[in-house]
């Protein structure tokens, strides 16, 4: 039983496929950019000196504290800080060591070496799912159209 008309199913299938393909392409370029930086930037070890608190509120109104580590590292005698873009509900341990990659020409451009993988996994997983659903929907329409044309 088909709940959507053929045109609507083609539109939805095409949109899902395009969204999924866009996410996969975005994931590829995100990974390439990240890998290029990791390969060309200098890596050093920093120490967690503080953390930033933000709050997430769920549908029930429960507020949860989320923490982003602030790490201090030194380049040529100058101290720099980096704030991790990822968040956790576990309070960071002061003094914990983290590996930082930084642009040698501008150490204010930096990133956490171990962070960013969650975004990449989400882009590839959701992108693959949307692309498969969209392609499956389009194949279903094409097959059903062929069958209906053969029966005429």
pLDDT tens digits along 15-62: 999 999 999 999 899 889 888 988 999 999 999 999 999 998 888 888
pLDDT in tens, 86-124: 888 899 999 999 999 999 999 999 998 876 677 778 888
Q: Could you tell me the CATH number of the domain that includes residue 91?
A: 2.40.50
Residue 18 domain-assigned?
no
The C-alpha atoms of residue 30 and residue 123 are separated, in whole angstroms, by 9
Number of domains in the chain: 1
Asked whether residue 31 is assigned to any structural domain, the reply reads: no
Indicate whether 149 belongs to any domain: no
Per the domain annotation, does 141 fall within a domain?
no
What domain range is 83 assigned to?
Answer: 36-113
54 falls within a domain: yes
Residue ranges in the chain assigned as alpha helix (H): 6-40, 117-150
Which residue in 9, 22, 15, 13 sits closest to 127, CA to CA?
Answer: 22
121 lies in a domain? no
Query: Does 24 map to a domain?
Result: no
- Residue 151, in any domain of the structure: no
């Amino acid at each position: 039983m088909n709940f959507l008309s053929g045109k609507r199913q083609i539109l939805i299938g095409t949109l899902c496929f395009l969204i999924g393909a866009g996410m996969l392409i975005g994931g590829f370029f995100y990974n390439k950019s990240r890998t290029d930086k990791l390969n060309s930037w200098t890596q050093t070890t920093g120490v967690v000196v503080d953390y930033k608190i933000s709050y997430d509120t769920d549908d029930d109104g429960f507020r949860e504290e989320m923490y982003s580590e602030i790490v201090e590292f030194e380049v040529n005698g100058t101290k720099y800080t980096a704030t991790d873009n990822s968040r956790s509900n576990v309070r960071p341990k002061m003094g914990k060591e983290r590996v930082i990659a930084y642009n040698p020409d501008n150490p204010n451009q930096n990133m956490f070496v171990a962070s960013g993988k969650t975004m990449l996994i989400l882009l590839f997983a959701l992108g693959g799912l949307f692309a498969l659903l969209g392609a499956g929907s389009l194949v279903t329409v094409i097959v059903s159209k062929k069958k209906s044309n053969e029966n005429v």
